[in-house]
A = this chain, B = another copy of it.
Amino acid sequence: MAKKVAVLAVNPVNGSGLFQYLEAFYENQIPYKVFAVSDTKEIKSNSGIPLSADDVIAHLKGHEDDYDALVFGCGDAVPVFTQHAEEPYNKDLFEVISAFGNKGKLMIGHCAAAMFFDIAGVAAGKKLAVHPLAKPAVQNGKPTDAPFEVDGNFHTAQTENTINRLLPQLIQTLK
């Protein structure tokens, strides 16, 4: 049976990254639910298009066992993250990543995803593909310059432009 995926979308989110995962999951009958890292389901793409997530991250917290995998959908919210780090939805973000990581679930993401997995303390020793600007922030994992990395339960892509190289193996794992 296909694994069930919780997809996180920051606000704003890179639509190219988010929808490369979603359309691939859809086409391969992999069930998913999209959670906005926000206090509302209504978010925007980096490119300014309003879109609606299925739910907000507050409602994913405590329900991690309903899912087999987590996707971190990166976006322009990340460069300004520190200005909003105290928002409840961003505190929920780290709690959710920690819960998924500590339960050994599949951890998937691109761009700064590896940095968030690392800060949450669940990626120690794992090889992680990561955006060059976020690479120095990865302290406990092993950040690389590769377009993508698969190490145990971690599937990471350097940017949204290399998700296409991560997807074939990932889809097989999720099916």
Residues of A in contact with B (beta carbons under 8 Å apart): 14-16, 18-20, 22-27, 32, 34, 45-53, 160-161, 164
Residue in contact with A16 in the complex, picked from B16, B47, B49, B161, CB distance below 8 Å: B16
Instruction: A18 to B25: give the CA distance in the assembly, Å.
Output: 17
Q: Assuming the A-B contacts A50-B51, A50-B52, are A45 and B23 also in contact, with contact meaning beta carbons closer than 8 angstroms in the complex?
A: yes
List chain B residues, Cβ under 8 A from A18. 15, 19
Question: What are 9 A-B contacts defined by CB distance under 8 Å?
Answer: A15-B22, A16-B22, A22-B47, A23-B46, A25-B47, A26-B47, A49-B52, A50-B52, A51-B52
Task: Name which residue of chain B comes closest to A167, CB basis.
Answer: B161
Give the 8 A-B residue pairs with the shortest CB-CB distance, closest first: A15-B19, A22-B47, A26-B47, A51-B51, A16-B23, A50-B52, A16-B19, A16-B20
List chain B residues, Cβ under 8 A from A160. 23
A48 and B23 contacting across the interface, CB-CB below 8 Å:
no
Instruction: A24 to B161: give the CA distance in the assembly, Å.
Output: 10
Instruction: A19 to B21: give the CA distance in the assembly, Å.
Output: 12
Residue in contact with A23 in the complex, picked from B15, B27, B52, B164, CB distance below 8 Å: B15
List chain B residues, Cβ under 8 A from A15. 15, 18-19, 22-23
Residue in contact with A51 in the complex, picked from B20, B26, B32, B49, CB distance below 8 Å: B49
Residue in contact with A19 in the complex, picked from B26, B34, B47, CB distance below 8 Å: B47
Residue in contact with A26 in the complex, picked from B23, B24, B48, CB distance below 8 Å: B48
